[in-house]
Amino acid sequence: MKKAMQFRDLQKQYKVLQPEIHSAMREVMDSSNYILGQQVDELEKLLADYVGRKYCISCANGTDALTLALMAMDIGPGDAVFTSDFTYFASAGCASVLGATPIFVDIDQSTFNLDPNALEENINDVLQEGKLKPKVIIPVDLFGLPCDYDAINSIANKYDLKILEDAAQAFGAEYKNKKTCSFGNISATSFFPAKPLGCYGDGGAIFTDNKSIDSRLRSLRAQGKSQKDKYDNREIGMNSRLDTLQAAILIPKFHALKDYELEAVNNIANAYSNVLNDKVTTPIVPNDYYSSWAQYTILLQNEVQRNQVKEALAKEDIPSMIYYPRGLHQQEAYNNMHLTDKDYPNTVDVCKRCLSLPMHPYLEDKDIEKIVKVVNGNL
């Protein structure tokens, strides 16, 4: 039987990288050094070098990476943390679990990323209300596209805020010749299997140039231990480490990403955009930006058309996803904040019209042709 088309084909990638991945895993088993083995150090050095940061601290997943970073910034009750309204829940959940208050910022529809003008308005609103202290901005590099860091940096400087970059979806992307995971005070990423750089389970990493934050994060990921003694606990931390096996799997996958997968996804994005009908809004990559294409997300003309296209694709066994069906301000978990749709017009509109098409480095021309034919034929 012919295998159905995959939204992100992890099996195809595995087949290509199988010999390297198997020998990397075997090495870990031969040494039986499962926690913080040598491959974890090796991966941290490789990734820090690649993104242009001094330090990389790996951990158990992307959500922990964000939470640990906020812990290292001493964020807690009474603090306001600004993030995009249109993102995966973890971008805000990391603030809430520490007792801080996430403030959702409406997006720029052309990039799907938070709108710097809306961000400044939100900061002023919080200051005017006087209940919370603005502390951190968490810009999310959504779908693989970096945020406008010049604009965000200048706002952070003006209001004396820290920046925690959520690059969970954008490892390998660039803004003005700088790699994601290098922006702001601290950056976080995820190695969830479907992310641009994914492992075979959960994984994540934190990046910084600050030596004392590096040591604090290494302590926080291991129950707040002191540098020398695992049983000397200096503060409340977590158990959040990257398994040696996952690090070993990530090393060959990192080389594949760098050597040809990033180029492949960029070619595929261009191929899609060149042939999709003009009635479809295709994703843009502004000058001086480079995307790592975690998602290829189009906008249809209205909700009815979006749902029709999705159904037509499903009929042909083509998977597609709605990233995201609602903004964070609409999540039941944040009902108690009493937020209204009218403050988030761009997110609300995009949630009705967005559709993410299959995207991964091993997608073939004939698959793209088939997908585009269904989309163009159902407008």
Interface residues with ligand PLP (CB under 6 A)? Answer: 61-63, 87-88, 90-91, 140, 166, 168-169, 190, 192, 202, 204
Q: How far is the CB of 372 from ligand PLP (least distance, A)?
A: 26
Q: Of the two residues 168 and 309, which places its CB atom closer to ligand PLP in the complex?
A: 168
Q: How far is the CB of 310 from ligand PLP (least distance, A)?
A: 21
DSSP 311-338: HHHHHTT---B-S-SS-GGG-GGGGGG-
Taking CA atoms, 225 is separated from 35, 41, 57, 66, 222, in Å, by 16, 18, 15, 19, 6
Q: How far is the CB of 44 from ligand PLP (least distance, A)?
A: 17
Q: How far is the CB of 103 from ligand PLP (least distance, A)?
A: 17
Q: Of the two residues 40 and 90, which places its CB atom closer to ligand PLP in the complex?
A: 90
Q: Using CA atoms, how far apart are residues 33 and 181, in angstroms rounded to an integer? A: 28
Whether the ω angle into residue 34 lies within 30 degrees of 0, i.e. cis, is no
Q: How far is the CB of 62 from ligand PLP (least distance, A)?
A: 2
**Residue 236 token pair:** 């409340």
Q: Using CA atoms, how far apart are residues 153 and 148, in angstroms rounded to an integer? A: 9
Q: How far is the CB of 192 from ligand PLP (least distance, A)?
A: 4
Q: Of the two residues 309 and 323, which places its CB atom closer to ligand PLP in the complex?
A: 323
Which residues are registered as beta bridge partners of 243?
35
Q: How far is the CB of 94 from ligand PLP (least distance, A)?
A: 8
**CB contact at 8 A, 365 and 315:** no
Q: Of the two residues 61 and 208, which places its CB atom closer to ligand PLP in the complex?
A: 61
To 10 degrees, what angle do helices 116-129 and 149-159 make? 20
Q: Of the two residues 118 and 309, which places its CB atom closer to ligand PLP in the complex?
A: 118
Q: Of the two residues 62 and 358, which places its CB atom closer to ligand PLP in the complex?
A: 62
How many distinct helices (H) and strands (E) make up the chain? 12, 12
E-strand ranges in the chain read: 55-59, 79-84, 101-105, 133-138, 162-166, 174-175, 178-179, 186-190, 204-208, 289-290, 296-299, 354-357
Q: Of the two residues 53 and 195, which places its CB atom closer to ligand PLP in the complex?
A: 195
Q: Which of 176, 189, 192, 358 is nearest to 285 (CA)?
A: 176
The phi and psi torsions of 223 (rounded to 5 degrees) equal 60, 30
